[in-house]
């Protein structure tokens, strides 16, 4: 594993210590140790089933650790009372993979939803903030009255980001922000992630399989690997470092993922087919 040296003077916003997450008898995350300083943009990459989205959910207390702990701004999320946990979650913004907009609401109502749930503000203030956030993600005022079904996939993703920004979060989590988008719209989303960091004092975690996104938006890349394919005792984090170091990583599994090569997986599939044929 390649590791980025930690500056002990960094003030971490998020810390995961010996994090294990198990669903029934299936262990998804094992002994994850992460320290994310304030203001850093971290991309978490890895193939399907390696625990990327589970890591995101654990970061904000949506998934409870089986073992270990998650500290947000020094507080153990699992030890907070429900009301305090809700209060802390207001400090998070979550951009869902498929935007997760409310189909029955207009775009304006979707973007305003967090504000109306957690703040007492006038209708005029709500309208001004909604328009400001939509403008920030490059959407015109005219979309306010539309329903999500009337917008393209890329526009819905931008609405999701506008909604996530409504409460000025300190930590924004992006779950596969460019999935399903063409290359040009994917780059628009990447630029918005970068401009959000420039315009707001935020820390960001981006779960993605898109290497263009990881290389462009991240200060730091973390690659997870499925536990079922690791040797006993081997770290689940294969890489932790700057994007510029990915191509020089000595671990072939990292290089194969970065280059999009089947590599060892193709050999495993051939061996599985041979074993199945022999069994029959």
> Looking at the domain assignment, is residue 17 inside a domain?
yes
Residue 262 included in any domain: yes
Percent of the chain with pLDDT over 70: 90
User: How many CA atoms lie less than 13 Å away from 47 in the CB half-sphere?
Assistant: 19
Question: Average pLDDT in the 239-262 region?
Answer: 91
pLDDT in tens, 120-178: 888 999 999 999 999 999 999 999 999 999 999 899 999 999 999 999 999 999 999 99
In a domain, 120, yes or no: no
Residue 13 has pLDDT above 50, yes or no: yes
Structural domain contains residue 190: no
pLDDT surpassing 50 at residue 242: yes
Q: What is the CATH number of the domain that holds 247?
A: 3.40.50.300
In a domain, residue 232? The reply is yes
Q: What's the pLDDT band for 267 if we cut at 50, 70, 90?
A: low
Is residue 57 in some structural domain? yes
Verdict on whether the full-model pTM lies above 0.95: no
- Domain with 22 in it: 6-37+46-91+209-279
Token pair 């609405």 is found at 159
Confidence (pLDDT) at 15: 96
**What mean pLDDT comes out for the span 260-272?**
66
Q: What is the mean pLDDT of residues 74-90?
A: 88
d(CA 108, CA 142): 10
Once rounded to an integer, what is the mean pLDDT over residues 36-54? Answer: 94
Count of Cβ atoms closer than 10 Å to residue 130 Cβ: 22
Let me know if residue 170 belongs to a domain: no
Burial (CB count within 10 angstroms: exposed 0-12, middle 13-18, buried 19+), residue 181:
middle
Domain tally for the chain?
1
Identify the burial level of 199 via C-beta atoms within 10 angstroms of its C-beta, where 0-12 means exposed, 13-18 middle and 19 or more buried: exposed
State mean pLDDT over 57-73: 92
**Residue for token pair 């081997």:** 234
């Amino acid at each position: 594993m390649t590791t980025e040296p930690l500056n002990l003077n960094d003030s971490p916003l998020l810390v995961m210590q010996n994090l294990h997450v198990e669903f029934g008898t299936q262990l998804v995350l094992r002994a994850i140790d992460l320290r994310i300083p304030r203001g850093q943009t971290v991309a978490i990459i890895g193939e399907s089933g390696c625990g990327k989205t589970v890591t995101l959910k654990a970061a904000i207390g949506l998934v409870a650790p089986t073992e270990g702990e998650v500290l947000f701004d020094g507080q153990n999320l699992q030890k907070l009372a429900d009301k305090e946990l809700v209060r802390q979650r207001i400090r998070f913004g979550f951009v869902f993979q498929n935007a997760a907009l409310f189909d029955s609401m207009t775009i304006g109502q979707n973007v305003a939803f967090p504000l109306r749930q957690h703040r007492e503000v006038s209708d005029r203030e709500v309208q001004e903030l909604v328009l400001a956030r939509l403008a920030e993600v490059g959407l015109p005022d005219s979309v306010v009255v539309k329903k999500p079904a009337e917008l393209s996939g890329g526009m819905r993703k931008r609405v999701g980001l506008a909604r996530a920004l409504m409460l000025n979060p300190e930590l924004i989590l992006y779950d596969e922000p460019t999935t399903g988008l063409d290359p040009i719209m994917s780059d628009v989303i990447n630029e918005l992630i970068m401009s959000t960091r420039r315009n707001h004092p935020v820390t960001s975690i981006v779960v993605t399989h898109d290497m263009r996104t990881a290389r462009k938006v991240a200060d730091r890349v973390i690659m997870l690997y499925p536990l079922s394919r690791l040797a006993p005792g081997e770290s689940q984090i294969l890489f932790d470092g700057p994007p510029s170091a990915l191509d020089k990583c000595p671990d072939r599994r990292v290089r194969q993922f970065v280059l999009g090569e089947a590599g060892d997986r193709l050999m495993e599939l051939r061996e599985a087919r041979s074993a199945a044929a022999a069994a029959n």
